[in-house]
């Protein structure tokens, strides 16, 4: 069967890619001067310390910063600091603010490159290039990198690489990419149920887990060699988890409503939310005992995993659906099914609403986003159930054919 892009001429796809790249370049340049609270209060001061005191000092201990009542330190995992150190080599030419933005935009390009690799599993070269170029215009990718100056693109890029490797049966690469993604941001764990499913369904062997652990540890090694205590490095994410004591931080999920209407205390919400997320994660991984998904079904499962965790967990932030934003567009481009396109649109609305709440104070955006995310999540769960049923039915028919039986 021809790929969905077979009906579109390569020349038109190439033209679409060129136009998308041109529009993206203009949009990113226009948004680069935008100052965000994260960049001004955290990333720029960290970069200034790196430039003033050198990379070894910056890695050896938390970089304490005090700005207008903000007393914090570099509680991001070291891989982001490595990028700022690399960017600081241009300190003679670029300002610390420009370095922060350069690092963020480079992450967006890396993310799009990894998305291209994932699209190539399903589409032609021309269609994949056009789709990847179009992703540069994805609102949350543009805002995250060019305006906000955040670095979610890096862990998301590595997560996309892990999904691509899973689809290609390259399980060692999958675990290496997943370990590297975890080293950048704890949010990469949202893909954990999917990774566990792939390992169980393919009997990939628990030795692959060692690959993940080794890569994660290797990503922290330079900071340890610079003098940062191993215990500090091992507990950075625990410290991050304790930083904010709210059920929702503008995340477009049910906890925005629960917090607004004071329906649960923080303690109760944590118990309920983590219980629901754990049950969902086990259900996703447990599908390995029932069916082995491939192709679009496996991609759908990755999206459900990336969607379920931030949707069900409390204490989530506005950016935490970033991987789902990108995977949903990839699935829509790969399948061209109406439900996939509809889900992708709803997920973009959901994340954009949350961004609006944080970036411009449009607080109703988180509630609009929560509703959009809820509808999208329901669509995806229904479609996953159908995909599992179809895969099981196909497996039964195959076994019957091999046994010489006849089925209707």
Same domain, 202 and 272: no
Say if residue 27 is in the same domain as residue 153.
Answer: yes
Query: Shortest CA distance to 179 belongs to which of 204, 155, 205?
Result: 155
Q: How many CA atoms lie within 13 A of 242 on its CB side?
A: 5
Last residue of a domain, one of 215, 243, 271: 243
The token pair at 149 is: 């100056």
Whole-number Å distance between alpha carbons of 199 and 208: 8
Domain boundary among 211, 243, 275: 243
Output the pLDDT for position 66.
Answer: 57
pLDDT in tens, the chain (408 residues): 344 444 556 777 778 888 888 999 999 999 999 999 889 988 999 999 999 999 998 898 777 665 544 445 567 899 999 999 999 999 999 999 999 999 999 999 999 999 999 999 999 999 999 999 999 999 999 999 999 999 999 999 999 999 999 999 999 999 999 999 999 999 999 999 999 999 999 887 778 889 999 999 999 999 999 999 999 899 888 888 777 789 999 999 999 999 999 999 999 999 999 999 999 999 999 999 999 999 999 999 999 999 999 999 999 999 999 999 999 999 999 999 999 999 999 999 999 999 999 899 898 999 999 999 999 999 999 999 999 999 987 765 555 555 555 444
Say whether both 199 and 264 belong to one domain. Answer: no
Q: Determine the pLDDT at residue 18.
A: 86
**Encoding tokens for residue 269?**
């919400």
**3 and 138 inside one domain:** yes
- What pLDDT is stored for residue 9 in this prediction? 65
Q: Name the one residue in this structure whose structure tokens are 């490159």.
A: 113
Based on the domain organization, do 10 and 125 belong to the same domain? yes
Q: How many residues does the chain have?
A: 408
Distance in angstroms (rounded) separating the CA atoms of residues 383 and 76: 36
Give the domain-ending residue among 213, 243, 273. 243
Same domain? 95 vs 206: yes
250 and 395 in a single domain? The answer is yes
User: Does residue 232 share a domain with residue 138?
Assistant: yes
User: pTM of this prediction?
Assistant: 0.93
In whole angstroms, what is the distance from residue 334 CA to residue 379 CA?
17
pLDDT at 402: 53
Three-class secondary structure of residue 80 per DSSP: helix
User: Do 271 and 378 belong together in one domain?
Assistant: yes
**Domain that residue 252 falls in:** 246-408
pLDDT at 238: 85
User: Do 209 and 264 have their domain in common?
Assistant: no
pLDDT the model gives residue 404: 55
267 and 341 part of one domain = yes
166 and 292 part of one domain: no
Structural domains in the chain (count) = 2
């Amino acid at each position: 069967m021809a790929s969905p892009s077979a009906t579109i001429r390569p020349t038109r796809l190439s033209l679409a890619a060129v136009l998308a790249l041109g529009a993206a370049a203009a949009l990113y340049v226009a948004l680069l001067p935008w100052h965000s609270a994260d960049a001004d209060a955290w990333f720029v001061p960290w970069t200034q310390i790196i430039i003033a005191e050198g990379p070894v000092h910056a890695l050896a201990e938390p970089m304490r910063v005090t700005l207008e009542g903000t007393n914090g330190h570099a509680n991001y995992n070291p891989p982001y600091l490595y990028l700022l150190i690399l960017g600081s080599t241009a300190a003679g030419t670029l300002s610390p603010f420009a370095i922060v933005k350069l690092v963020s935009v480079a992450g967006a390009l890396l993310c799009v490159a990894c998305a291209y690799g994932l699209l190539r599993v399903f589409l032609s070269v021309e269609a994949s290039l056009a789709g990847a170029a179009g992703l540069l215009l994805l609102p949350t990718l543009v805002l995250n990198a060019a305006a906000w100056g955040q670095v979610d693109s890096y862990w998301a890029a590595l997560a996309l690489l892990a999904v691509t490797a899973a689809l290609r049966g390259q399980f060692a690469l999958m675990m290496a990419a997943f370990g590297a993604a975890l080293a950048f941001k704890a949010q990469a764990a949202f893909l954990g149920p999917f990774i566990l499913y792939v390992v169980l369904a393919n009997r990939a062997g628990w030795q692959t887990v060692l690959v993940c652990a080794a890569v994660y540890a290797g990503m922290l090694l330079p900071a340890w060699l610079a003098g940062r205590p191993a215990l500090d490095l091992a507990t950075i994410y625990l410290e991050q988890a304790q930083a904010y004591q709210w059920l929702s931080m503008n995340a477009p999920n049910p906890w925005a409503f629960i917090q607004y209407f004071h329906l649960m205390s923080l303690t109760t919400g944590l118990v309920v939310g983590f219980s629901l997320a754990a049950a969902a994660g086990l259900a996703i991984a447990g599908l390995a005992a029932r069916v082995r998904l491939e192709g679009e079904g496996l991609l759908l499962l990755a999206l459900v995993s990336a969607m379920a965790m931030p949707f069900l967990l409390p204490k989530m932030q506005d950016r935490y659906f970033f991987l789902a934003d990108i995977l949903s567009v990839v699935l829509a481009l790969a399948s061209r099914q109406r439900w996939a396109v509809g889900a992708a649109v709803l997920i973009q609305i959901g994340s954009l609403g949350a961004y609006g709440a944080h970036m411009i104070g449009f607080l109703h955006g988180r509630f609009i986003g929560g509703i959009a995310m809820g509808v999208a999540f329901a669509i995806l769960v229904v479609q996953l159930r159908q995909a599992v049923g179809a895969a099981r039915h196909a497996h039964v028919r195959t076994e019957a054919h091999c046994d010489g039986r006849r089925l209707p």
